[in-house]
Structure 1
Amino acid sequence: MAQKIGVGIIGVAPGRSWAAISHIPALRSLDDYEIVALSTTRMESARAAADEFGVDKAYDNHHDLVNDPAVDLVVVTVKVPHHRELVTAAIQAGKHVYCEWPLGNGLAEAEEMAALAEAKGVVAAVGMQARSAPVFRFLKDLIADGYVGEVLSLSLIGSGMNWGAAVDQPNAYTFDKANGATMLSIPFGHTMDALCQCVGEVKEVEAMLANRRTSAVLVPDNTPLDLTAEDQVLVNALFEGGAVGSIHYRGGVSRETNMLLEINGTEGDIVITGPGGHAQLFDLSISGGKGEDQAVAPMEVPAKYSWTAEAPALVQNVAQAYALLAGDIRSGTHDCPDFEEAVKRHRLLSAIEKSAASGTRTQV
Structure 2
Amino acid sequence: MGTMAQPLRVGLIGAMGRWGPSAHIPAIQNLPETELYAVCTAHADTAQSAAQKYNVELAYSDDKVMNENQDIEAIAVSVRVPVHYALTKNALEAGKHVYCEWPLGADLKEAEDLAELARKVGAHTMVGLQRRASPVYLRMQELVNEGYVGQILGVNLVQMGSGVLTRTADRTWQRDVTLGANTLTIAFGHAIDAMAMVAGNITEVSGQVSTQVSQWYESDTQKYVDVTSPDNIMISGKLENGAVVSAYVGVHPYHGSGNRMEIYGKEGTLALVTGSNGALQIMGGQQDDQYLAEIPIPERLTWVPPTVQNSGPGFEVGQMWANFANSIRTNSFGGPDFDHAVQCHKLLEAVQRASDTGQRQKIQ
Aligned length: 355
Aligned CA distance change for structure 1 residues 297 and 342 (closer, same or farther; 3 Å): same
Q: Secondary structure at the match of 1:242?
A: coil
Q: Secondary structure at the match of 2:252?
A: coil
Larger displacement relative to structure 2 (78-87 or 328-337):
328-337
Asked if 2 retains the 8 angstrom alpha-carbon contact of 1:283 and 1:313, the reply is no
Q: Secondary structure at the match of 1:319?
A: helix
Q: State the shift of 1:108 in Å.
A: 0.5
Match of 1:242 in 2: 242
* Alignment RMSD (CA, Å): 1.7
Asked if 2 retains the 8 angstrom alpha-carbon contact of 1:110 and 1:342, the reply is yes
Q: Which amino acid aligns with 1:69?
A: Q
Where does structure 1 lack aligned partners over 5 or more consecutive residues? 276-281
1:341 aligns with 2:340: yes
Match of 2:12 in 1: 9
Structure 1 segment 19-98 matched on structure 2, within 5 A: 19-98=20-99
Aligned CA distance change for structure 1 residues 83 and 215 (closer, same or farther; 3 Å): same
Q: State the shift of 1:294 in Å.
A: 2.2
Give the TM-score normalised by structure 2: 0.94
Q: Which amino acid aligns with 1:147?
A: Y
Structure 1 segment 158-197 matched on structure 2, within 5 A: 158-161=159-162, 164-197=164-197
Q: Which amino acid aligns with 2:6?
A: Q
Asked if 2 retains the 8 angstrom alpha-carbon contact of 1:283 and 1:312, the reply is no
1:294 aligns with 2:290: yes
Asked if 2 retains the 8 angstrom alpha-carbon contact of 1:212 and 1:231, the reply is yes
Alignment partners' CA distance in 2, 1:169 and 1:270: 41
Aligned CA distance change for structure 1 residues 259 and 311 (closer, same or farther; 3 Å): same
Query: Over residues 162-203 of structure 1, what are the superposed CA-to-partner deviations in whole Å (9 max), with x where a residue is unaligned?
Result: 5x1112334322221111001011011111111111111110
Match of 2:325 in 1: 326
Asked if 2 retains the 8 angstrom alpha-carbon contact of 1:133 and 1:313, the reply is no
Q: State the shift of 1:158 in Å.
A: 0.9
Asked if 2 retains the 8 angstrom alpha-carbon contact of 1:110 and 1:343, the reply is yes
Asked if 2 retains the 8 angstrom alpha-carbon contact of 1:147 and 1:268, the reply is yes
Q: State the shift of 1:161 in Å.
A: 3.5
Alignment partners' CA distance in 1, 2:118 and 2:273: 36
Aligned CA distance change for structure 1 residues 254 and 204 (closer, same or farther; 3 Å): farther
Alignment partners' CA distance in 1, 2:26 and 2:61: 22
Q: Which amino acid aligns with 2:283?
A: S
Match of 1:356 in 2: 355
Alignment partners' CA distance in 2, 1:214 and 1:189: 21
Match of 1:123 in 2: 124
Structure 1 segment 148-227 matched on structure 2, within 5 A: 148-161=149-162, 164-227=164-227
Q: State the shift of 1:345 in Å.
A: 0.5
Q: What is the identity percentage for the equivalent residue pairs of Structure 1 and Structure 2?
A: 32
Alignment partners' CA distance in 1, 2:257 and 2:263: 16
Alignment partners' CA distance in 1, 2:301 and 2:279: 14
Q: Which amino acid aligns with 2:105?
A: G
Asked if 1 retains the 8 angstrom alpha-carbon contact of 2:15 and 2:40, the reply is yes
Q: State the shift of 1:101 in Å.
A: 0.3
Q: Secondary structure at the match of 1:237?
A: strand
